Amino acid sequence: MPEKHQGLPGRFAMGVGVLCLLLLALAVPGMAAENTTAATGNSASEETTSAGTQVAIESTTLTPGTFFTGDTGTLSVKLTNRGTATVRISKASVRSSDFDFLNEKTYTTVGSLEAGSSRELTFTLRARVGDGVYYPEVQIDMGDAGSIKYAVPIRVDNSPLQVSLVNAPSTYMLGQKNTITVAVFNPRQSMVNGVVVRAAGEGLNVSDTAAFIGSLGPDQSRNVTFSVTPAGSTNLTLTVTYTNGLTDRSTVLTVPMTTGDRSTAADPVVSDVEVTNAGGAYTVTGDVTNAGIDDARVVVVTVGSPAQPTDPNRLYVVGSLESDDFASFELTFRAAGVSTVPLLVQYKDEEGNSFEKSVEISLSGGTPGNSSAGANNGAQAAGGPPAGGPGAMGGGMMGGLLGGGRPGESAGASSIPVLPIAGVIVLVVVLGIAWKKGWIERARGRLRKKE
């Protein structure tokens, strides 16, 4: 009995063991199939995650950097695959209610992006909103791998380029060149290109009517210079053209131009003129002073017809005269049968315009000149009225005391009666000494005793 009792459990245990082996044999194939599916599934999940996270937008570029309302520009997007597997990009687009997407059919199919490679996508946009900052959204679709969305800030600013005149005269010289400087300023937050300034006006001659500036960065200013010659009062029109992105723009400034004499212009004045005559050959000396504010350049003094310049000083080159500066000159010439000749002062201004001023100088005592200093000095140098007449150096009471000048002698230092004056001076000195020594008083005493 004990043996039977012990054998039954052994058989039962053996049966249970066999049953477990059968169940294990049936379970193992099922477990293997489940693990394989899970691995495949996990592998697919890892690939999807890799594609979605490893493809990135590295950078964006806007042209122009700032839009005007209505401007057409481009948005370039650089895509990079940082993963180890090729990713297929099915579509790229821009979504915005503020900008028109003009080339949406370009990227309906993009293609594959290999591992470690980059690709640039360019979208054409047109702004249809006012000033402000807007955020169009770039969307990159990668099929089962997901998508990328990125908002790009774009500024719309309708501030145009500014143009102004600097160093322009308040009054323009009629028929003469006038230099003006035009300043162009970019108040925008991005660069503009192809900047050109043009100057024009009715009855206005402009040298180099167009000035090219080129690119102008944000908050930058450039100056250009024009020479304008007006035939009368008119309007000067300054037109600045430039390109913002793909759009041409312009700014126009109209400036009134009033012609007349410029208050700051150089003004040569002749003074201290003296004329001497030696057998029909005249010599004239004097000073020329710049009474204006601007400099007088290349100043030349000569005589005009009917005078005939002769050697050695046909003309006298003074050079440049600054404001309030003066220079002396000397000329030689012949003039037969005339009483006056024109003294010519020729000069140029800073723009190179040529000017000539004429001053009549007298050869026989008249004063018909148009310059008071030059005419008066010319009359005096020519001898003035005849000796002994009214206003002559030898006339009046002093003339009776000292003696008049000799007829025909030039006025000035050479006509002063030197000997009579010296005699008077000696007489005064002698009388003073006699008075001091008491000689006069003694003589008066002797005269009284005789009486």
248 shares a domain with 220: yes
137 shares a domain with 60: yes
Provide the 10 A C-beta neighbour count for residue 69: 13
The pTM for the full model equals 0.55
- At 63 the three-state DSSP class reads strand
Within a domain: residue 350?
yes
Bigger pLDDT: 312 vs 294: 312
Contact 94, 126 (CB under 8 A): no
* CA within 13 Å, CB half, 315: 12
Mean pLDDT of 345-357: 82
65 shares a domain with 101: yes
Within a domain: residue 449?
no
253 shares a domain with 192: yes
The mean-pLDDT minimum among 221-225, 257-261, 285-289 falls in 257-261
pLDDT, tens only, 265-282: 788 999 889 899 888 889
pLDDT, tens only, 391-433: 333 334 334 434 444 444 444 444 456 566 777 777 777 777 7
Which residue in the block uniquely carries the two structure tokens 């000799």? 406
For residue 325, the domain's CATH number is 2.60.40.1480
Question: d(Cα 268, Cα 356) in Å, to the nearest integer?
Answer: 10
Indicate if the pLDDT at residue 48 is higher than 80: no
184 shares a domain with 151: no
Residue 311 vs residues 73, 125, 307, 331: alpha-carbon distances, Å: 75, 80, 13, 9
Domain boundary among 381, 414, 432: 381
Nearest Cα to Cα of residue 64 among 144, 157, 176: 157
Q: What is the pLDDT of residue 39?
A: 28
The total domain count for the chain is 4
Residue 126: which residues within 8 A CB-CB, separation 6 or more?
A: 70, 71, 72, 73, 99, 100, 102
166 shares a domain with 152: no
Give percent of the chain with pLDDT exceeding 90: 42
Indicate if the pLDDT at residue 239 is higher than 70: yes
Domain boundary among 381, 405, 424: 381
Provide the 10 A C-beta neighbour count for residue 411: 21
334 shares a domain with 422: no
Mean pLDDT of 225-238: 92
For residue 59, the domain's CATH number is 2.60.120.570
Within a domain: residue 28?
no
Mean pLDDT of 78-97: 93
Containing structural domain, residue 250: 162-257
pLDDT, tens only, 3-40: 444 444 455 455 545 444 444 444 433 333 322 222 22
377 shares a domain with 273: yes
Q: What is the pLDDT of residue 6?
A: 46
273 shares a domain with 377: yes
User: How large is the C-alpha radius of gyration of the chain?
Assistant: 53
Q: What angle do CA 179, 181, 187 make, to 5 degrees?
A: 170
Within a domain: residue 401?
yes
Contact 341, 304 (CB under 8 A): yes
Domain boundary among 257, 283, 305: 257
Nearest Cα to Cα of residue 145 among 74, 93, 89: 89
Question: d(Cα 90, Cα 139) in Å, to the nearest integer?
Answer: 11
Within a domain: residue 446?
no
Within a domain: residue 40?
no
Query: Which structure tokens are listed for 67?
Result: 């839009």
For residue 218, the domain's CATH number is 2.60.40.10
Within a domain: residue 102?
yes
pLDDT, tens only, 150-194: 999 999 999 999 999 988 887 888 888 888 999 999 999 999 999
333 shares a domain with 319: yes
The mean-pLDDT minimum among 114-123, 207-216, 314-323, 400-409 falls in 400-409
Within a domain: residue 105?
yes
363 shares a domain with 307: yes
316 shares a domain with 370: yes
